[in-house]
Amino acid sequence: MSTAERSIGVAAETTDPEDVRVGETLKALLFRTEQTPEGFLVRRPITHAELAGQVRTTRSPRGVSRGYITQICNGEKHLTNAVLYQIARYLGVNPIAIKRPDLDPQQQLLIAA
């Protein structure tokens, strides 16, 4: 941090590697496979605005902001448990899949059994 930043009280920008990893995991989960009326499977991305409108917590009963979801995906903000559970519910996944993804698919099968 430079002396100029220190003198005006600007904090150094730091990102938590865990927040970055969670953001990358969330970005990967924002692609949903849907079936068209003709029977074709297509990948449709879920937009940050769509997800933000569905994430309702006691602090944000009308949904969180699109910018907040974008900051989470970029690893700039920490994903709170309240928001984590709402995102997992909307995506139809276990919250653990977002917070602590398992890299070994064989271990995932053992847990599900």
Tell me: the pLDDT tens digits for 5-44? 555 554 456 778 889 999 999 998 998 777 888 988 888 8
Set out the domains of the chain in order of their start, with CATH numbers: 12-99 (1.10.260.40)
Q: What is the pLDDT of residue 46?
A: 92
Bridge partners (DSSP) listed for residue 33: 43
Q: What is the pLDDT of residue 112?
A: 47
Query: Is pTM beyond 0.75 here?
Result: no
Q: Is 70 exposed, middle or buried (0-12, 13-18, 19+ CB in 10 A)?
A: middle
Tell me: the pLDDT tens digits for 60-99? 888 899 999 999 999 999 999 999 999 999 988 889 988 8
The answer to whether residues 29 and 97 touch, using CB atoms and an 8 Å cutoff, is yes
Reply yes or no on whether the pLDDT at 49 is more than 70.
yes
